[in-house]
Amino acid sequence: MTRGSRSVPTGLAAAAAAGLTALGVRDLLQRQHALLRNFPIVGHARYLLESVGPELRQYLVAGNNEERPFTRDQRRWVYASAKAENNYFGFGTDNDLEYTAGYPIIKHRTFGRAVPPTRVQAGHEVDLPCAKVLGRARGRAAAFRPASVVNISAMSFGSLSGPAVQALNRGAALAGCLQNTGEGGLSVHHRQGGELIFQIGTAYFGCRDEEGRFDLARLKDLVAGAPVRALEIKLSQGAKPGLGGVLPGPKVSAEIAAARGVPAGVDCISPSRHAEFSDPDSLLDWVEMLAAETGLPVGIKSAVGDMAFWDELTDLMATTGRGVDFVTVDGGEGGTGAAPLIFTDSVSLPFQLGFARVYATFARRGLQEDVVFAGGGKLGLPDNAIVAFALGCDLVNIAREAMLSIGCIQAQKCHTDTCPTGVATQNAWLSRGLDPALKSVRAANYIKTLRRDLFKVAEACGVEHPGLIDTASVEVLTGRTASTPLHEVYGYEPGWGMPSAADQAEIVRLMTGEAPQGGSAPPSESAVG
């Protein structure tokens, strides 16, 4: 080796030493970080480990059932379902059933009603229409029966990338389900063939005038030119109930501006309250106006906190003839974007508790059969969804599970605009990695698999449809040697949580292709009364 060749590594070493010396001097002189002043250079290792901590835990440290919000087992089930791979698990459950208080147990029946195997189509696909007709009770002109009990929850273009919204909309078309636009307006990415629920938030994106006020004419033009099946008024969501939001100007691209009806490059603000109504009475006036002007069913979405709102709303519905067509209850454990930690952890009730209280409020006034109930908050997992149906949900909405199906790896970077898989970002370089054509198939596979699993659990419970699973079919563990039926946990009265007798009969007919014996509704098989 020549002297010249030896000088190259020597020079590199000298440069590295000089760099480390400069870094050490900087650490000693800076005042922001005491750790670095006391331990120059070496102290950076702490910040490096902290920055990659989630990745280390996810891939090297955490067990199959330890991570949150979705465990490794749960993510594996979604991924395998989305890829149409084997999603079974071997050698038994990782969950500690004996000691986990609050763990739901679904009770199968040895001799349930016969379920014709022809309902499971080729490829193990199954249709699961809603047990109720949305908008029928109030005579809406465009009332319809949702074709799928599993639908894609509200996630705006802006919080999700354009390719992600496209993938979900195409997936909704392939799976025959609905996609909620979220409050960010109806973009070109929502026009890929999937049917929509248009969400109206506090900023009235997509249906506002130049001053930001609600514009009925623009709403009517919008729904006339897109496959919108219903309108949802967003009162609050599980991630950040009671808060508004800001999309910083640099993220407000021309596409986002066009969808929302706002100037590009300017901070896009969602107020914390609606300007068109201020109490349940004026809310119902607005609901009825929207329904009359568009012909569409109109509902509300809300997380659950103070119950006074729900008491007043149902009192007015019971006495005035006005009312909402559907109610979407979002659990406090929900959320796909950015929110303060105190809100994600402690504000609004978790889904089961919040939904049960809302359902009971409607049921005590005899209104539960006139309203379609939807739920959100980790209901894209079959066990959670089954409990939701037993409590009275007619539809379940999926958000983060849908994100997982199109490539989300739970990096928890949604609030940083640096989502590594291009799902929750407006960074063009990152979002280009998401192929909407491929991911749409995976979204559809996941939705179809979830429906199939819900159908199979219903079959195990002896009924034809998950909407016919009653509260007596679920018990909640309270310790190693005790459990409590679901209706006792939430104080349900006999018959609560079930569709009307007529709706039960109709959903059985739709699922079996035959009229129930004697033309009457099937028995609820409930032990409650």
pLDDT tens per residue, range 300-329: 999 999 999 999 999 999 999 999 999 999
Phi, psi at residue 171, to the nearest 5°?
-65, -40
For 437-463, what is each residue's pLDDT tens digit?
Answer: 999 999 999 999 999 999 999 999 999
**According to the model, what pLDDT value does residue 521 have?**
43
Q: What is the average per-residue pLDDT within 192-206? A: 96
For 456-491, what is each residue's pLDDT tens digit?
Answer: 999 999 999 999 999 999 999 988 888 999 999 999
Phi, psi at residue 479, to the nearest 5°?
160, -170
Distance CA 80, CA 449 (A): 10
Q: Read off the pLDDT band of 522 (50, 70, 90).
A: very low
Q: What is the average per-residue pLDDT within 91-101? A: 72
Burial of 211 (0-12, 13-18, 19+ CB in 10 A): exposed
Q: What is the average per-residue pLDDT within 497-524? A: 75
Range with the largest mean pLDDT of 117-121, 417-421, 491-495: 491-495
Distance CA 496, CA 160 (A): 37
Q: Give me the residues paired with residue 329 across strands.
A: 302, 375
Q: Read off the pLDDT band of 98 (50, 70, 90).
A: low
**According to the model, what pLDDT value does residue 44 have?**
84
**According to the model, what pLDDT value does residue 129 have?**
97
80-89, 209-218, 440-449, 489-498: which range is least confident on average? 80-89
Mean pLDDT of the residues in the chain: 87
Domains of the chain in sequence order:
28-61 (no CATH), 119-460 (3.20.20.70)
**According to the model, what pLDDT value does residue 516 have?**
45
134-138, 170-174, 245-249, 252-256: which range is least confident on average? 245-249
DSSP notation for 76-91: HHHHHHHTT------S
Helices 351-364 and 308-320, axial angle in degrees (round to 10): 30
Phi, psi at residue 431, to the nearest 5°?
-70, -20
Alpha helices in 325-478 (DSSP H): 341-346, 351-364, 382-391, 400-405, 428-431, 436-460
**According to the model, what pLDDT value does residue 245 have?**
74
Question: Tokens at residue 384, please?
Answer: 């959670």
**According to the model, what pLDDT value does residue 117 have?**
55
Tell me which of 425 and 337 has the higher pLDDT. Answer: 425
Tell me which of 515 and 236 has the higher pLDDT. Answer: 236
